[in-house]
Amino acid sequence: MDFKIYGTSKDSNARAGEITTDHGKIPTPIFMPVGTVGSVKGVHMRELREDIDAKIILGNTYHLYLRPGLEILKQAGGLHKFNSWDRPILTDSGGFQVFSLSSNRKLKEEGAYFRSHIDGSKHLFTPEGVIDIERIIGADIMMALDECPPGTSDYAYARKSLDLTHRWLMRGWKRYKETDGLYGYSQAYFPIVQGCTYPDLRRESAKFIADLGADGNAIGGLAVGEPTEKMYEMIEVVNEILPSEKPRYLMGVGTPANILEAIDRGVDMMDCVMPTRNGRNGMLFTSEGIMNMRNKKWADDFTELDPNGTAWVDHEYSKAYLRHLFVSQELLAMQIASVHNLAFYLELVKNARKHIMDGDFASWKKDMVERVTRRL
């Protein structure tokens, strides 16, 4: 994997670059649609490629490990061939899903024991085992197994959790270095900065991870219950230490405003289920603000969904029609909203990149944050 920076903001830490993988190039900053079980919910691969122009999507190690299972994925030749996606894929380590099971998991030095949410069967994720799983899935970028503590964790727990994450990281790094990809292309490995909301722990973790010299680095454990301003503070603390010549990935964030603020602070990659999950529940993010498509006010509004939108659905369907579909509980409503929201997110980071290169990112961002947080 290769990363080049082509432009930086004059009045912020934002930067525009490009990641090169064996499955294609990824312009940064970039938003990555979440394809938990090998699919981005309600969206065809053709739409992701042609209408939304997603450069990279995510797969979830925990879910893919349970279904369809490693044997099927290996027989298929990896996730790219299984789901017919020929562009880059990133897989998380499954750690967040395991740790969110709470009562159904136990953390030990050897790894995370958990019960499947599907059938209750017992499983163990170790740092080494997760590397082996991600090799079989075949993602271009693999994530390290870590513990993601709640944002409200006390210092003692955050300290203990961070130490475990670092020990797991070194075991996973060793397995990564000892193994090769199974399908004839290279796979990068990103460690994850943890440390909850404690600046000293975050700095320690960022230094530990920067010294590893991986192809890229991730910031985890944010947007998990802590105040938004605290999240921004932790991003700033971490990015002062993480190497600027490597891509920085903020995991699981967030709203359009969160994304713009993260880019402003030097983040290159982001992902979140919000565009599709909120879309399926009737929330549209637009260039003029946020719309709840179930509201009565849209019942006789026959204007386009978003006149400035880039997806075909923005101009083919009216607000009144989409509201009708949601009220009627039609599946098409969820598909239209998902396509629109993903296209909006991708256009947002594309425009951010343009304004970084043009030198007016800070003023553009200020205006856009006001727009994208407005309730219509």
> Which of the residues are catalytic?
92, 271
d(CA 99, CA 203): 23
Measured CA to CA in angstroms, residue 320 lies from 78, 259, 313, 367 at distances of 42, 29, 13, 28
- Residues counted in the chain: 376
d(CA 72, CA 75): 5
Query: CB under 8 Å to 192, separation ≥6 — which residues?
Result: 93, 143, 144, 146, 165, 169, 209, 217, 218, 219, 220, 221, 251
Q: Which two tokens stand for residue 152?
A: 């409200």
